[in-house]
Amino acid sequence: MLTVGIDVGGTTVRAGVVDNHGSVLDTARTATPAGQDALENAISSVVAQLTHRHEVSAVGLAVAGFVTEDRRGVRFAPHLAWRQAPVADRMSRKLRLPVVLEHDANAAAMAEYRFGAARGARVAVMVALGTGIGGALLIDGEVFRGAHGVAPELGHLRVVPGGRPCPCGKRGCWERYCSGTALAATTVELLATEPGLSTVLAREPVRDGRAVTGRAVAGAAREGDPLALRAFAELARWLGEGLALVADVYDPEVVVIGGGVSESAPLFLDEAREHYAKQVTGAGHRPLARIRPAQLGDDAGIVGAAALAADLVARV
């Protein structure tokens, strides 16, 4: 049985045809548009591309936002247009296929538990670094959703009171300092204060702050650009600080670092582990969580959403 998993992120809508073994057989993508109707049309477009080439049974949407307990609607999504929207029913009518929703980090966590880096872990946390931060908690393979289906919203833990503004309406959220967007913002700040430090990012047109992206910073860091490396050092510090908070609350056995930024894990993950080990309460006197990059990489959300779609079909 083949299903389609779709990772609906703040920047890109990415879809994949997935088999029962978690293998992605085909993909399609498009930019994430601003309006609700445009977003749903974009999802329909990528599904149409894939269903033209494959016979699929259902669709799963991994959404960067608050999903209702029945996984049929989206309450709120800081980086997307949906507000109190019955997304699954609308998309099912458009696509003429069963549709299920899941928080993007929950979907990625389920994929890593079934097929990847969290396999067999009793208590596992997923931290997905993308446009923002998605968080998920699995206990004995079951997603912990909280009383109203929105837990754990790790990206919006406030780490800097009065800090950088966040689309959620608060200031100083963790994801404003530790995400692809944060990496770009830190780089722009550094370019403004120390432009001579960069050998790559100060070139045209990247010195225009609007053109600085996390991907551009990662490319510069791989070339050894000092300013880009400093931006990654800041991301590593904030990742370690945040993981220490997460460990104080959940005491996980394993933390999986996923999302698009995880593709650059060699640039920051070892340093983040060091910060975490120093900052966690009881440092030196307690077992530390294993901090691993997502084994499925940036496809984890797609694979998890597709697996949940397969579960939906199996129950019918």
pLDDT digits (tens, 9 = 90+) for 196-234: 888 888 764 555 556 788 989 999 999 999 999 999 999
Please name the residue ranges forming H helices in the chain.
Answer: 36-53, 87-95, 104-115, 180-193, 214-222, 226-250, 269-279, 300-315
- Which residue type occupies 224? G
Q: Please report the pLDDT score of residue 259 as a whole number.
A: 86
Q: Please report the pLDDT score of residue 295 as a whole number.
A: 93
pLDDT digits (tens, 9 = 90+) for 155-200: 999 999 999 999 889 999 999 999 999 999 999 999 888 878 888 8
SS3 of the chain: helix, strand, coil, percent, to 5: 45, 20, 35
pLDDT digits (tens, 9 = 90+) for 238-278: 999 999 999 999 999 999 999 889 999 999 999 999 999 99
Sign of CA dihedral 224, 239, 79, 18: positive
Side-by-side strand order, sheet with 24-31: 24-31, 12-18, 3-8, 59-63, 99-103
pLDDT digits (tens, 9 = 90+) for 135-148: 999 999 999 988 88
- Report the distance separating Cα 7 and Cα 2, nearest Å: 17
